[in-house]
Structure 1
């Protein structure tokens, strides 16, 4: 039997289509009481423009799974951390050519290339294809790639 939590965690992220909101760790809680489902989520950053789409996608997925009394709540504290990205999420990001952040905040000045693994990279722009990513290039294989912003 598929649970409400399974349904919610499987919702694709609208900006990072390679991962689900469960992979990103933005699902804080899924509480079920009979036919009522209450979902609590935390955005990757407080100004994330995808939150309306995420809330709508959660409600739609739950309705399709047979749930009718749905509430989706957003909390900002504690703030989301890149440490909440699952191992599967990190793998999926790398497979999609997006460099996943490290497990802890560090003072590294580079990101590893998700294609060849080289640390010889450079940031081209603090702003990537979405607000939560930056644009990088690998000096070893010359390929550009997105990286999830860490701070």
Structure 2
């Protein structure tokens, strides 16, 4: 068996960020905003830090395993994958490309929080990914995955999942 030449940190980061989310496979982990540092640790071994969307996420083991496979494929079989819980993940970490992918798949992405100023209280609905109307209402706190809820658009009467702002 021939040894694989170890890829650079930048190349490894790009490949790790391209790993699909196990629950939303059309969305890459990088666009979801869960990938943190990709750098050599104190002992020189490459480390990848990721922040789970929430602690009870059933996909944590799958995400870590997929990242570890990519690291091995990149020539870093001894690399470590670490969960980082602080600072906690927020939906503000989702990239614009990630928000567009969510919307393209019928999932209403959360709106980003303002950089400064007062906390906004939502008095208007989340935009419907089908028709764009903000005439939407909560339907169920339970959605297709644990991090989603269901909303209903009163304009087009469609149900749609909404990625919960945690």
| TM-score of the superposed pair, with normalisation by structure 2 | 0.84
For each residue in 1:47-96, what CA deviation from the matched residue of structure 2 results, as whole angstroms up to 9, or x when unmatched?
Answer: 21111110001111222233211210001111111111101000010001
Query: Where does structure 2 lack aligned partners over 5 or more consecutive residues?
Result: 1-6, 114-118
Q: Find the counterpart in structure 1 of residue 3 from structure 2.
A: none
Partner in structure 1 of residue 33 of structure 2: 25
Residue number in structure 1 paired with 2:120: 106
- Out of 96, 101, 105, which is 1:92 matched to? 101
Q: CA deviation at 1:15?
A: 0.9
Bigger Cα Rg:
2
Q: Whose strand fraction is larger, Structure 1's or Structure 2's? A: 1
Which secondary structure does the structure 2 equivalent of 1:30 belong to?
A: strand
Contact 1:4–1:37 (CA under 8 A) maintained in structure 2 = no
Counterpart in the other structure of 1:55: 64
2:133 to 118, 123, 147: 118
Alpha-carbon distance, 1:99 to partner: 0.4
Please say if 1:45 is aligned against 2:54: yes
- Secondary structure in 1 matching 2:38: strand
What is the count of residue pairs matched by the alignment?
151
